[in-house]
Every structure is written in structure tokens, then in C-alpha cells.
Structure 1
């Protein structure tokens, strides 16, 4: 069982089949199929259940996958450790949409110019999904929002705060001022799917005031959320930094709410992970960020 075989196995899982895995790896399909069969022979068990042209992970395959992820991540870490300190190679960064839109464009352009040998891959998701992606070695690091899920085991992660976001309520223009939950006249909450830390904050705020929205409308982007708010479909919560990106905000009203407060965005990564590319990104994020919370405090939130 070598690293090349594990790389092929992981690619077949991620690409949902041999054809796409072969294209991803720049190999012929027959080679991928042969290597999977050889790996199964070495382990003495089937890793996939073959259902016509579909491949579904077997129980043994499900067991092997996290080990394969860990071994490949460790091998990648070892390569970085023995190479020259100059950042290079692949860096997979997960981020919330709000950070990707409002905080990262200029910073990533600067990073590419400074470290052109790094192939930076960006993945968008909610805080909950991104934590899981870091946990499963599917991204090297991620920008996520506090408070983190209490179920997230702190011993797996290290973290540093980089941005501080002020959360505000958004309504259509003409809505009366909102100082208390009872001031809200719209019954629909427009938000991202479960796993969004900002959604968790507004839902907690509702609960604290013993009310709940009659409906929740889940959308996948701030552009769609703001458009629905402007049309009067409901209310939303968003970082104030996102509003600066709007070409026209004349149809929405922004309601600062001290109870929602500020939320820190953390850069998290697997504890002990080494990568010169990640270290360079972390240093750049901290230098350009606006968070004032100390790293020790942020790390404590993960424990």
C-alpha cells in the first residue's frame, strides 16, 4: 500500500468514479482501475461496491478513507518540512462567503504576487462545513466564525483571530427602527443553511426574546439574500463589511444591534500542521486583519 495507490483511491472517492478521477490525475482509466484492484488485493478486501457503472464505498473503503487522508496529509507535510522554506506547492483554503467577498480579494492578489509558486485553491462553505473539511484533511485551513460548535474537539485545531465583524440586521427600506425583537414586523428569516455561525447568532437572539420566525428561507449567497430583503420578503443578518460591496443599497435598511455584537473570524488548521505556504498566509492575514483578540483567547474557544 503506497502513497500513489492511496492518492488514486482518494481521487476515485472525491470524483465519484474512475473516469473523472483519471482525468483529475492525468492518468488513463485502465491504470486507475488496475491500481484500485491492486490495492484491494493487498488489503484483502473490496473497497468499492460495483453497481453497474457506479462505484460506492464499501464498509472497508469507508474505514480506509480517513486513514488515507491522514497519511497523504502527513506525507505532504513532510515534503514541505524538508523543502526550502520559501512557500510553494498547493494550499487549500476554506472560507465563508462573507470573508471571500469582503476581506480576501485584495489579500489573495497580494499573496499570489508575493508567492507565485503556491497554487492556492479556495472553497466556500458555512462554518460548520468548513470545520469538518479541516477535520477530514480536505482543506489545509479555513476562515470560520466564532462561536464554534461546542462539539468541535479543540485538541484537533489551532487558531488565530484575523477579522472582527459587526453583525447588523437588514430589512427593506421603510421598516421601523429595530431595538428589540418585538420591533420586527416581518416573519421570515432569510439566511444561509444550517452550519452558518451568523445564522446561529440570530436564532439564539430570537430564542432569548422568546420568539421565533414563522418561516426560514435558505439561500446560497449574500446577493440573493439582500435582493430578497430589499423586496420585502423578510429580514437577514450580515456582517457590515459585506454591505460595502453592494452597488446599490438604497432599498434596504441597516439596523445596528448591540445585542448581536461583534464576531471574530478565525483562521483554523489542524494542530501541528506545518506548511510554509500556510504560515505565509497566516502571517499576511494577521497583519492585514482587524481582530484585537489574542491568539490564546481564540485557542481557548476551541478547547
Structure 2
């Protein structure tokens, strides 16, 4: 059974005549007769009652017609989703937690309002997790820490993040890693690019962080810092949105460690109309060149 047979069957069921159906699907009558016979043989039932050069649906044919129409409608819907002009269907986006919380809420609202036929799904997590999902095809695109270095991916820089070292209130100014050698750190899992950046900041100054406690949210990190339990690295854009930000001391990292760039990335061969529309909307939302 194939789609061509289903289309032929539907045409014959509608016309009640092989000759008329053949004209509708642009085939010769003998071809339709052969394909319908093959379909009946595959199913093991007669789909038509043949009498006086006319065909009318058998009881089994009536039941099969309903399912064949549903199948063809789903196929047409799938074609529209993947190849149609209007963005529609499932669009799965990944994002760093800070980007999802601060940078893109209004962008996502505009996108879903402009394209109501899109089924939008958002996942947040560390850069490593998001990149793996894009490579696996389970995410159409993701906001991750750049720069982009991968032969299968394409992308563009979108946001510049100023990285702040956050310490308990009253802490002495921190200008280098040796100032806090051996201090406990709160961070995301090991595949988080911000965590790697923090660890590299220590190692470049020949210092070492103390115990690294893995957390699931910036709010959890900040609560631990406020309690005097250690340090955290948080983007300024995220820190300034948190109600308790005034309860900690914070300083930007030194200039060569201070800025990280967030990229929007996608698979090189994974462009869809929905992704194309999202990229265009992202470009329109940017103020211009990155600082």
C-alpha cells in the first residue's frame, strides 16, 4: 500500500468510475484498475462492488475510505509544515537559563503571537546540554555560550554578557582569582560553559576553587552566597533582575574574562520556515552591533 494507491482509491470512490477517476488523477484507466486490484489484494477484501460498468463502495470500502482520507489529510498537513510558506508545526528552542529569563521573553511572546500555528516548546539548561540536543535534532535551535566552533552547526552572535563574581555582603573586593583561592563555589553542572569559564579564571591565575557545589538555578546560588557559604559567577543581566541582588557584593571579572557572547545556533541542514522566521525576528530585536 502506498500514497498513490490511496489517492487513486479516493478518486474512484468519489467518481464511481475508473474512467472519470483516471482523468482526475492523470493516469490511464488500466493503471488505476491494476493499482486498485493490488490494493484489494494487499488488504484481502473487496473495496468496491462492481456492477454495470460502475463501482460503488463495499461496506469494507466505506470503512477504508474514512481512514484513507485521514491519512492523506495528515500527509498534506505534513507537507505544509515542512515545505509550506507559512511557519507552522513544532518549533523546539533551547536556551541558557539566564537568556530565557532575561533576554528573550518578549521575543518569544511576539513570535508565538505572530505565528499562531506554531507549536512552541522551550527547554533550558547548560550550553553543553543544549548543543547536544541541537546536534541530535531534538531542538531546532538554541541560545548557547559562544563562540561557535562546529562543522555541523551555523549560528550568529546575539547578546553580550558581563560576568560578575558574586560574594557574600561585606566581602573584600575581588580583583583576581588568587584573592579567593580555595573558596567554595556554587555553579551549574560540569557541561555549563559559565562554570568552565569560572574554573579557567581560577586556573589562569594559578589558583584553585574549593569545593564546587552543583546547583540547578541562579536563585539557589544567590541564596547560598547571601548566607556566606561561597562564591558564584552570574551574568549582570541576570543578577540585576533578582530581588536579593542588593544583599551581595559583586564585581565584574578582569577585562580579558569579563565578557561572554551568547549565540543562537542551529544545524547547518536544519533550516525550516519556522526557524527562518525566528532568526529574522531575532535579528530585528537586536539593537545593532554587539558592544
Is TM > 0.5 for Structure 1 vs Structure 2? yes
Cα 1:195–1:125 shift into 2, 3 Å:
same
- Residue number among 191, 210, 228 corresponding to 1:195 in the alignment: 191
Q: For residues 70-81 of structure 1, what are the structure 2 equivalents within 5 Å?
A: 80-81=81-82
Aligned residue for 1:159, secondary structure, equals: strand
1:82-111 superposed Cα distances (whole Å, 9 cap, x missing partner): 31x221111000111111111121111111
Query: How far 1:240 sits from its partner (Å)?
Result: 0.6
Larger radius of gyration: 2
Task: Answer yes or no: is the 8 Å Cα contact 1:77–1:274 preserved in 2.
Answer: no
- Residue number among 154, 158, 180 corresponding to 1:162 in the alignment: 158
Residue 64 of structure 1 corresponds to: none
- Hey, what's the Cα distance between the residues in 2 that align with 1:159 and 1:78? 26
Residue 82 of structure 1 corresponds to: 83
Cα RMSD after superposing both structures: 2.3
Q: For residues 273-292 of structure 1, what are the structure 2 equivalents within 5 Å?
A: 273-289=270-286, 292=289
Cα 1:129–1:260 shift into 2, 3 Å:
same
Cα 1:290–1:171 shift into 2, 3 Å:
farther
- Residue number among 218, 230, 251 corresponding to 2:214 in the alignment: 218
Query: How far 1:234 sits from its partner (Å)?
Result: 0.7
Query: How far 1:178 sits from its partner (Å)?
Result: 1.0
Query: How far 1:256 sits from its partner (Å)?
Result: 1.3
- Residue number among 196, 200, 207 corresponding to 1:204 in the alignment: 200
Query: How far 1:241 sits from its partner (Å)?
Result: 0.5
Q: TM-score, normalised by structure 2?
A: 0.69
Task: Answer yes or no: is the 8 Å Cα contact 1:162–1:264 preserved in 2.
Answer: yes
1:42-95 superposed Cα distances (whole Å, 9 cap, x missing partner): xxxxxxxxxxxxxxxxxxxxxxxxxxxxxxxxxx99754531x22111100011
Cα 1:290–1:98 shift into 2, 3 Å:
farther
Q: TM-score, normalised by structure 1?
A: 0.66
Residue 129 of structure 2 corresponds to: 129
Query: How far 1:184 sits from its partner (Å)?
Result: 2.3
Cα 1:147–1:237 shift into 2, 3 Å:
farther
Cα 1:77–1:189 shift into 2, 3 Å:
farther
- Hey, what's the Cα distance between the residues in 1 that align with 2:79 and 2:152? 19
Specify which structure has the bigger relative contact order, considering alpha-carbon pairs within 8 angstroms and separated by 6 or more residues: 1
2:242 maps to 1:246: yes
Give ranges in structure 1 of 5+ residues lacking alignment: 3-75, 295-303
2:224 maps to 1:228: yes
Task: Answer yes or no: is the 8 Å Cα contact 2:91–2:118 preserved in 1.
Answer: yes
Residue 91 of structure 2 corresponds to: 91
